[in-house]
Amino acid sequence: MSQADFDIIVYGATGFTGRLVAEYLNDRYGADGEVTWAMAGRSADKLAAVRAEMGIPESVELVVADSNDAEAVTAMANRTKAIVTTVGPYQLYGNTLVEVCAKTGTDYLDLCGEPAWMRLKIDALEPTAKQSGARIVFSSGFDSIPSDCGVWLAQQRCIEETGKPSARIRARVRKMQGTFSGGTAASFKATMASARDPEILAILRDPYSLAPGFEGVEQPHGTKPYLDEAIGMWVTPFIMATINTRNVHRTNMLLGAPYGNDFVYDEMVVTGPGEKGEQIAKALADRDDMASDDGPKPGEGPSKEERDAGHYDILFLAETDAAPIKLGVTGDRDPGYGSTSKMLAEAAICLVQDKSDTPGGIWTPAAAMGQALIDRLTANAGLTFEFE
């Protein structure tokens, strides 16, 4: 891909999240700066209208490709080092693009939170990607960069300070303002529909579904509220845990099990102490916002003011033989849109510019990019990774 026209093509640039990725690239890197990029989608007219509406210079090229047109998608892939795609649900609209990238050696990054589809793509495409040199990186947004990189960094500190990894890390969402995206909700509904297939259901239930061949210990189910004695607070299930935990275990597998074969990991939302904390935990557990028809639809999302007011704060509590190691990971925008769009863009730049030595294959963000990605996110994307 050394003769590629672009570093990055943003596919789905007319959609809500795709527009945010394009806006971020334009604001941070401009049209003629250190990153060469283009906007892509199905309609030339709509792409041009969005580019003009957002004040992006005409020097940012437009690339037309329908997700079902393999010839057009291949032509697009051959023009760039990496494609970032926000066009989900990926199990419905992402098959051709990821298959073409694996074959052409083009790097691919998405926002996928669909573990069954990801496992099917791992089984089908990993040998192809390894041969072509394509780096396929799923889940390069709020699911699952904070979790994946947070656990990776906490384990680095554990190994440095104690000589061995932590066998037990808890991720606890201390604060979060914002909402999941319409695309995430659509992906969740598509996944639940596909779960009628017994093979898909088995994948969804397996905590190691994205780590084929890896044998680990039993993992917490995280399906009910409880009083977490480790922090003295009530906790309740975290909706993104289903995908985040599986990516963390895949990172462990890809890196040769540096977290150990007995590593236990879960994610929960902190609701507070005492009776009030218990009441909130149980009330949240009874809600099913992701399945509701009242939330944002694909292509919809919060206003700029709402995105800017959003934030999140996640504690990673790593047990050791001595005092626990605590890592806080925060983001300065709402998780589903503002922060996710920045993470996706920076992950693509990191992969192309900083991690050319990562070989082809199907990766997680932490396994593919590690500290280089953390450095980019803290320098540019409003995230912090701070030990407490």
What domains are there in the chain, each with its CATH number?
6-141+339-378 (3.40.50.720), 145-334 (no CATH)
Q: Judge contact between 378 and 385, C-beta under 8 A.
A: yes
| Strand pairing report for 37-41 and 6-11 | parallel
Give the model's pLDDT for residue 267. 97
Q: Cα separation of 115 and 121, whole Å?
A: 10
Give the model's pLDDT for residue 1. 46
Q: Cα separation of 85 and 286, whole Å?
A: 33
Q: Which of 172, 141, 158 is nearest to 383 (CA)?
A: 141
pTM for the predicted model, two decimal places: 0.94
Give the model's pLDDT for residue 302. 82
- Sorted by sequence, the CB contacts under 8 Å of residue 127 that are 6+ apart come out as none
Q: Judge contact between 47 and 15, C-beta under 8 A.
A: no
Q: Cα separation of 142 and 355, whole Å?
A: 21
Q: Angle at the Cα of 346 (from 178 to 8), degrees rounded to 5? A: 120
Q: What burial class does residue 336 get, using C-beta atoms within 10 Å of its C-beta: 0-12 exposed, 13-18 middle, 19+ buried?
A: buried
Give the model's pLDDT for residue 145. 98
Q: Angle at the Cα of 303 (from 83 to 7), degrees rounded to 5? A: 15
pLDDT in tens, 307-364: 899 999 999 999 999 999 999 999 999 998 999 999 999 999 999 999 999 999 999 9
Structure tokens at 339: 């922060």
Give the model's pLDDT for residue 31. 72
Q: Cα separation of 379 and 268, whole Å?
A: 28
Q: Cα separation of 79 and 84, whole Å?
A: 13
Ranges in the chain, pLDDT < 50: 1
In the chain, count of helices (H) and strands (E)? 14, 14
Q: Judge contact between 142 and 170, C-beta under 8 A.
A: no
Q: Cα separation of 313 and 384, whole Å?
A: 9
Q: Which of 259, 362, 250, 382 is nearest to 311 (CA)?
A: 382
Q: Cα separation of 285 and 266, whole Å?
A: 16
Query: Residue 387, Cβ neighbours under 10 Å: how many?
Result: 11
Give the model's pLDDT for residue 197. 74
Sign of CA dihedral 294, 298, 302, 308: positive
Give the model's pLDDT for residue 313. 98
Give the model's pLDDT for residue 293. 64
Give the model's pLDDT for residue 294. 63
